[in-house]
Amino acid sequence: MAHAEAAAHVESPLAASYDEWCVTPSLRARLACAWTARLGAQGERHVQRIIPDGCIDLLFTEGELIIAGPDTESVELEVAPNRSFVGVRFRAGQAATVLGVPASQLRDQRIDALDVLGARACELSDRLAAVANPWAAAALMQDTMASWVQRAPAADALVAHAIAELSRPRADWSLATLAARLGVSERQLRRRFLHAVGYGPKLLERVLRLRRFIQAAAARQPHGLARLAADAGYADQPHLTRECRELTALTPAQLLGYPVTAA
């Protein structure tokens, strides 16, 4: 099985844990990471908030293979103790050709992978159910993705170029200007984004800007929210506050130190 380099580890007060690994170099254009999560055996049922990141996850838990996302706003998931998850995370715009379904059909959904992947999901689920531990399962999922990616059509290169432009610090594109830069019509750009990403470029721009703020805020540097807002590309602190409320239902202050995940 492929080996993965540990990239992140987060533990919660409920003795839960979350670990990420960098995938092998051949998969890094497609996948942000492989990951495992374990909810502690102690404690009450609690709510886990998932922040939008533009990504689509394929995850396995309690014998079920699930496709998650892309989310257009934060999602509150009620979770019970003593439960394990393992998954891989596709970068924005990279899942549709591998999974064989437009990303727009997965938007804001948690879908049984059998309904989308058919026999592929059944085979992978059976193999994952027989694996001894979550880390071995993560390696198995990575090996399987390598096989699926090899047989899949290439991702949309124009969308990938557009995402790179939207990811730049202080990016603030109008749809018309971005389309003109890429040499396509606004309608074509939006259509291709819906297929590859799941929603339009302006929403992805907002999601990426939010991630820049969360990443900067996680560093806990001695800067106020106004400085963090400017560095992330917001017009001002009220702009940051509105966007945080709309995308996460949280205030900027509540996002200070929020865990940063690969995307």
For 37, phi then psi, to 5°, come to -140, 140
pLDDT at 208: 96
Quick check: 34 and 4 in contact, CB under 8 A? yes
Residue 214 structure tokens? 């969360």
Quick check: 204 and 53 in contact, CB under 8 A? no
Quick check: 236 and 229 in contact, CB under 8 A? yes
DSSP-based three-state secondary structure for 260: coil
pLDDT at 15: 52
Strand order in the sheet with 110-112: 5-11, 17-22, 31-38, 84-90, 56-61, 64-68, 110-112
pLDDT at 14: 45
pLDDT at 13: 43
140-194 pLDDT tens trace: 999 999 999 999 999 999 999 999 999 987 768 899 999 999 999 999 999 999 9
pTM of the predicted structure, to 2 decimals = 0.90
Residue 37 structure tokens? 């999560």
Quick check: 8 and 18 in contact, CB under 8 A? yes
DSSP state, residue 23: P
pLDDT at 12: 47
The residue among 82 and 19 whose pLDDT is bigger is 19
233-251 pLDDT tens trace: 999 999 999 999 999 999 9
Give the whole-angstrom CA distance, residue 29 versus residue 5.
16
**Looking at this protein, which amino acid is placed at residue 235?**
A
Give the whole-angstrom CA distance, residue 216 versus residue 205.
17
Q: Using alpha carbons, select from 139, 164, 29 the residue that is nearest to residue 91.
A: 29
Mean pLDDT of 210-227: 85
Mean pLDDT of 114-135: 94
